[in-house]
Structure 1
C-alpha cells in the first residue's frame, strides 16, 4: 500500500506538505503547481486514503446509504445503483444500497439499518416519480430525494428529478421535424404518476410552438402504463380520429408504445411506414426488442443517481446549504421507429 511517506520520498518533500495537498488544505501554504504535482503523483503511484483513519479523525464514516423503493426486477435498478456507486467512489465514500418494499414499516427498518452503520447521509429513491413525505431521520443526518419531491411548491430538501417536460417536448418536436402534423399522444389516466401531467405538458408545448395555438391535440389516456392498456387506448384514439388518422404517436412509456404497435398492426398499419412511434423511458427489454427499434426518451437514472450522491456529499460537507430542486435532461434516443411523414395524397393512393 502506498503511503504519504512514499509520495514525499519520491518527490523529495516533507510528509506534511503531501498531507496538506492530499487533504485540499494547500491554499496559501503550498504553491499551486507543487500541490497539483503531488496529487498527480499520488494518483500515478496508486495512493488511496485510509478512510477509516480519516473517519475517526473527522467523526465521519465516509459511508452513505441509497435507500431505494424498488424490486429486484426493476429495469432501472442497475443504472440507478451504478451511477450512485460511481459518484460515491469519486467522492471517496462507500455506498451501501438498501432496497425496500412497499410493505408498512419497510422504510423505517431501512433507515434504522443505515443509521446502525453510522452513514454520513442517505439518498431516498422512489420506484417512480412521485410526491412523498419527509422520512423519519435524525436532524443531524443529511438526506436527498431521488426521483421524488416533497409536498409543497418549494423544496424543503434537495431533490434530483428528470426533466420530463423537456424530454416530451423534444420527442414531439422530433416528430414535427419529420413532417408529421397529425400527431397523437397516448398518456396515462392515473394521478399517482406525476409524469402524467409533465409529459403531456411537453407534448402540448411542442405542438403550440410548431403548429400555433390553434392546434387541436389528439390525446387519449390509457388506464395505466401497461401494454394491454396502451393497446386499448390506441384503438380508442384511432376510432376518434376517424378519417384523419394520425401519422405519428408519442407514448407515455415504452410499454405503452408496445401496446400502441399491437393496435396499429391489428388495423393493418405498417411501422414506421404508415405510423411513426416514440416512447419514453428507454427500458432495454422493450425499446431494444421493439420492431422496428424504438425511438424513445431516456429516463437518465444513472446521471440522476450520480447527481443525487454529489448533492448529498455537498450537504454533508456544507450542512447549512439551502435545498435545491435539480432537473436532469432526458435525452432523445434516435432509432428506427420514426420516418418522414408521407403526404396525404400519397397515403390515399396506397
Structure 2
C-alpha cells in the first residue's frame, strides 16, 4: 500500500531549521552551536542540543566537514528573492555571466541559492547541508544577512557587490552616491529645473509610492539609499521622489505615472532613475500619455544594459555587468589561494544617449 501523506511527513528528515524553531532561536544561532565556533550562551546552546535530541537531528550533513579538509569545487551564489527575477534582469544576467566565466577558469562551479525576502533564514538551512569553498552576494541586497554569520563560522570566504555590509565581506564597490550624481548633474546642466527621481525599493516589499522621510530612515538596501542621496545632493531635498515596487519595466511605468499624471506646470521635465529597466518604464509611461522623449521629458537610467526593443538609447550610468562579475570572481580566486582580499572600487562612466535634451521652451 502506498504511504499516506502523514506517513511521508513523519519520515521526513529533520532539518537545522526545525531544530532552531523548536529551540526558539534563529537558524544561524543553531548553526553556530553545531559548528562550535560561535559565541552562544551556554543556556541557549543547551536548548538547541535538547531540541536536536528531541527531533533525532544528528547535525548538518557530514559533507560540510570537507571544508576543513580541502576544497569541493563549488561556490555558493546567494540571490535575494526568486531566481526568476534575476533571470529577467539583463544587468543581473550580465553579472552572473561574468562571475561564472571567472569561476570556470578557476575550475569551480556555481551553486545558486535563492533567499526568500520574507524568510532569509531559509538560505541558512539550505547552506547548512552544502559544502562550498566560498560564497558570493552578486546583486543588490539587504544591509544585513543571516547567511554571513553562518558561513563565517565555517571559515568560508565571502565576496559581494556592496551588500551585505560586514567587515569580513570583500566587495567590488560602485560608489552609488557619486555615480548617481553623474546623471543628475547632466540633467541640471541641460537646464532642467523640475527634476524628479524614481528609486528602486528602499526595503523589501515596499509598495509603489511617494518616498517619505520614514522610508529613508528604515531603508535596508544600501545601493538604493546611496543613489537617492547622490540625487538629492544636487537636486535638493524637495525634489519629488517615488519608488517602484519591483525592478521591472512594468513597475517603473506604474511609478512614473505618479510623477507624470499631474498638471503640466507641476510635471517634471526630467526623471532621473536608479535602473535602466525603470527608465524604460518611464519612457513607456510618457509615450502612452502623449509625451515625447526627450523633447518633452528627459529620462536617465543606471547600469548601461542593452535594450534594443526600447526604441531609444538611454542616457545612463554605465557599469558593465559582466566585468563586475568577473572582478568578484577574481576576488574569490584570490581568497581561495590564501591571499588577502579587500574592497575594490568599480569605476563607472556617464553614457549620453538619445533620451536627454534641454527642457521644452
For Structure 1 versus Structure 2, the TM-score category normalised by the shorter chain is 0.5 to 0.7
Contact 2:170 2:343 in 1 (8 A): yes
| Structure-2 residue corresponding to 1:200 | 228
> Residues of 2 paired with 1:252 and 1:138: CA distance?
32
**What pairs with 1:286-325 in structure 2 (closer than 5 Å)?**
287-318=307-338, 321=340, 324-325=342-343
| Structure-2 residue corresponding to 1:157 | 169
The yes-or-no answer on 1:96 pairing with 2:104 is no
| Structure-2 residue corresponding to 1:274 | 296
| Structure-2 residue corresponding to 1:137 | 151
> Residues of 2 paired with 1:85 and 1:79: CA distance?
10
2:98 to 83, 107, 122: 83
Contact 1:272 1:292 in 2 (8 A): no
Contact 1:190 1:223 in 2 (8 A): no
Q: Which runs of 4+ in 1 moved over 6 A?
A: none
> Residues of 1 paired with 2:142 and 2:318: CA distance?
18
Superimposed CA distance per residue, residues 106-164 of structure 1 (whole angstroms, 9 cap, x where no aligned partner): 5654574444xxxxx3132255332323153375644123235335xx62322333332
> Residues of 1 paired with 2:96 and 2:251: CA distance?
30
| Structure-2 residue corresponding to 1:340 | 358
Alpha-carbon offset, residue 81 of structure 1: 3.6
Alpha-carbon offset, residue 277 of structure 1: 0.6
Contact 1:146 1:304 in 2 (8 A): no
| Structure-1 residue corresponding to 2:249 | 227
Which has more strand, going by share of residues?
A: 1
2:178 to 157, 162, 166: 166
Alpha-carbon offset, residue 335 of structure 1: 2.2
Contact 2:159 2:169 in 1 (8 A): yes
| Structure-2 residue corresponding to 1:147 | 161
3-state DSSP of counterpart to 2:344: strand
> Residues of 1 paired with 2:154 and 2:242: CA distance?
47
Residues 222/149 of structure 1: CA separation in 2 closer, same or farther (3 Å cut):
closer
Superimposed CA distance per residue, residues 231-289 of structure 1 (whole angstroms, 9 cap, x where no aligned partner): 333232235565143221112322322332233224321111111111223343xx332
| Structure-2 residue corresponding to 1:328 | 346
Aligned residues: 266
Contact 1:84 1:308 in 2 (8 A): yes
Residues 77/275 of structure 1: CA separation in 2 closer, same or farther (3 Å cut):
closer
Contact 1:300 1:328 in 2 (8 A): no
Superimposed CA distance per residue, residues 293-330 of structure 1 (whole angstroms, 9 cap, x where no aligned partner): 222224543233222232233333446x4x74434233
RMSD: 3.3
Structure 1 unaligned blocks of 5 or more = 1-58, 116-120, 209-214
Alpha-carbon offset, residue 178 of structure 1: 2.6
> Residues of 1 paired with 2:189 and 2:123: CA distance?
47
Query: Greater shift after overlay, 301-310 or 234-243?
Result: 234-243
3-state DSSP of counterpart to 1:202: helix
